[in-house]
Amino acid sequence: MAYEKEMTALNPSVAADEEQSNNDYGNSITDYDEKSNSFEANNENDFDYQNLDFDEEYVDTITMNELYNSVYSLKPPIVEGLLNSGVYLFVGAPKLGKSFLMAQLAYHVSTGIPLWKQFPVRQSTVLYFALEDDYCRLQRRMYKMFGTETTDNLHFAVNSHHLGDGLCEQIQGFINRHRDTRLIIIDTLQKVRDVGSDYSYQRDYEFIAAMKEIAEKTGVCIILVHHTRKQKSDDSFDMISGTNGLLGAADGAFILQKEKRTSNKATLDISGRDQQDQRLELVRNAENLTWELVKAEVELWKEPPEPLLVEIAKHITPDCPKWQGTATDLAALLHSDLSPNALTKKLNVIAGRLLNEFGVRYETFRKRDGRFITLTLNQV
């Protein structure tokens, strides 16, 4: 219940495995009351529960109450407002400048320099599969775009295995060696498809699903560069080459388009599961070939401040890096109008924001005399 005044070692929060919550799932949900929920206690009809084949009929579920009493990790964005962990498609017509924009994105994430000065990035290691290039061309391109300002956090590969022939293992192996990897770009998707595979909805969906499995397990963002179809459409996302299985399984998509191929102006349409739809107007710098932001049709959306988190951050500081107590104690400390139970549930939901925005790790655990909360300063 009291503050721990002594300084404690601050835990790093960059590795994918360190971002996962340390909360014990068994201690984070309401305990199952076997007596009150047993079949014998509720068997008021003649249904034969004893003969029910649970192996075949069982459906794994979680109640809303259990859901709110659980703490789930929340991965911070790779590029705030634009790119989160998961699998994204980056689509455009051939020779439109997609690879230059991908190189620009990779460079900014690897160096930590905000993209277009207004999109903060999370600095991390980047793996760029430039499968339609060679190292000589990459050298000239990167020098043209960024001069001699280099970085060791950006890795290039000009060849890879196909999806069904070791690609996933290659990606996992790289992440194992570079634990702070957060962005992987595959340019292009067609280069890693299995040779001779058909392009049915099912195969397209399964392809993205295999990439998503890696992304979800490691917390990285995987961008698959792809081409548009020739047919025009009122909805730019209908122009993605292939079936709807690609977009349906992906977490988001970027569509780069020009009205005229000879123009240096383009639009970038953005759509995703966890972000607002956006359209950015871009222009190509004729001197260094980088893409520059002209304007965004809508203002960059940000989650509004959460007063509860702000109040917690006032109490968890380098001078007082750890607090422990009950939900009742915390409600009193924060002068919160929420009941202890409601306060705990709300913190369970927004614990990821507390860590990502304020560097404070929230955990709960149960002891003989009740459930306790620990708040620990995780990073400066």
List the pLDDT tens digit at each of the 380 positions of the chain: 444 443 333 333 334 443 344 444 333 323 333 333 333 334 444 545 455 555 667 788 999 999 998 988 888 899 988 999 999 999 988 888 999 999 999 999 999 999 999 899 999 999 999 999 999 999 999 999 999 999 999 999 999 999 888 999 999 999 999 999 999 999 989 899 877 666 678 888 888 899 999 999 999 999 999 987 666 666 666 667 666 778 777 889 999 998 887 889 999 999 888 777 889 999 999 999 999 999 987 766 677 889 999 999 999 999 999 999 999 999 999 999 999 999 999 999 999 999 988 999 999 988 888 889 999 998 54
168 and 113 together in one domain: yes
Structure tokens at 54: 């649970």
Q: Residue-wise over 339-362: b if at least 16 C-beta within 10 A, else e?
A: ebeebbbebbebbbbbbbbbbbbb
Q: What is the pTM for the complete model shown?
A: 0.76
* Angle in degrees, CA 101, 107, 113, rounded to 5: 110
212 and 141 together in one domain: yes
274 and 337 together in one domain: no
What pLDDT score does 231 carry?
A: 63
What pLDDT score does 301 carry?
A: 64
At 217, is the secondary structure helix, strand, or coil? helix
CA atoms within 13 A on the CB side of 165: 11
| Cα 58 to Cα 355: distance, rounded to the nearest angstrom | 36
Residue 254 in domain: yes
| Cα 84 to Cα 87: distance, rounded to the nearest angstrom | 9
Residue 171 in domain: yes
Query: How many Å is the maximal CA-CA distance in the chain?
Result: 81
309 and 182 together in one domain: no
Residues 6+ apart with CB under 8 A from 170: 160, 161
| Cα 347 to Cα 343: distance, rounded to the nearest angstrom | 6
Q: Residue-wise over 141-161: b if at least 16 C-beta within 10 A, else e?
A: bbeebbeeeebebbbbeeebe
228 and 96 together in one domain: yes
> Which H helix or E strand runs over 194?
none
91 and 161 together in one domain: yes
Q: Look at residues 279, 296, 313 and tell me which one is the last residue of a structural domain.
A: 296
DSSP 8-state class, residue 189 = G
| Cα 230 to Cα 250: distance, rounded to the nearest angstrom | 21
| Cα 110 to Cα 127: distance, rounded to the nearest angstrom | 9
What residues make up the domain containing 339?
303-380
What pLDDT score does 38 carry?
A: 34
| E strands in the chain | 3-4, 86-92, 125-130, 154-157, 181-187, 221-227, 252-257, 265-272, 275-284, 291-296, 322-325, 360-367, 370-377
At 54, is the secondary structure helix, strand, or coil? helix
Q: Are the CB atoms for 77 and 242 separated by under 8 Å?
A: no
Residue 53 in domain: no
Q: Between 307-315 and 327-334, two packed helices, what is the crossing angle to 10 degrees?
A: 100
At 213, is the secondary structure helix, strand, or coil? helix
At 329, is the secondary structure helix, strand, or coil? helix
Q: Look at residues 280, 296, 312 and tell me which one is the last residue of a structural domain.
A: 296
Provide φ and ψ at 42, rounded to 5°: -115, 5
